[in-house]
Amino acid sequence: MKTFRHLLALSLTCAALALLRAEPVPAAPAPAWQLKDVDGKVVSSEQFKGKVVVLDFWATWCGPCRMEIPGYVELQKKYGKDGLVIVGVSLDSDRHADQTVKDFVQKYGVSYQIVMGDDAVQAAFGGMDAIPTTFIIDRNGQIRDRKVGAEPTADYEQAILKYLK
């Protein structure tokens, strides 16, 4: 796993890039993944076939990541019935990371799926130069958008809606 110093540098980079917006990317198959949630239950990308998935790489200590969470909660609530699934991939890596993330989820009312990331899933998605890094995966399992940094919920909602229809 990444060191604390490396993750702190990612957070600072993230803050500097907080309003950077990537354009949609050419469709490419999303890597398959299998990770554990904060309770140790295995969650797999296979579970979300046929759904539009927002896959958000984040950490509890990342300010811009934390700013986006209430918006993701609202988007999940608003569009879950239409096939939207938000999955937060926590990159917290201290020795108590599972409990730290579990406590965070409870404290802030995170109502969407949270899993604990690892180096392999980061590498499969091209590595994380900064967090949050967020992908939109369409119903056919194709990566359609990659966003680095935070973005206002209303703006990101427009990007998601292209693939929900």
The alpha carbons of the chain give a radius of gyration, in whole angstroms, of 14
End-to-end CA distance of the chain: 38
Contacts of 100 (CB under 8 A, 6+ apart): 60, 92, 94
**Is residue 14 flagged as an active site residue?**
no
User: Which of 35, 62, 69, 114 is labelled catalytic?
Assistant: 62
Whether 65 is catalytic is yes
| C-alpha to C-alpha distance for 92 and 58, rounded to whole angstroms | 8
What span, in angstroms and rounded, lies between the C-alpha atoms of 130 and 109? 24
- Among residues 65, 105, 115, 131, the one annotated as catalytic is 65
Q: Which amino acid is at 143?
A: I
Catalytic residues: 62, 65
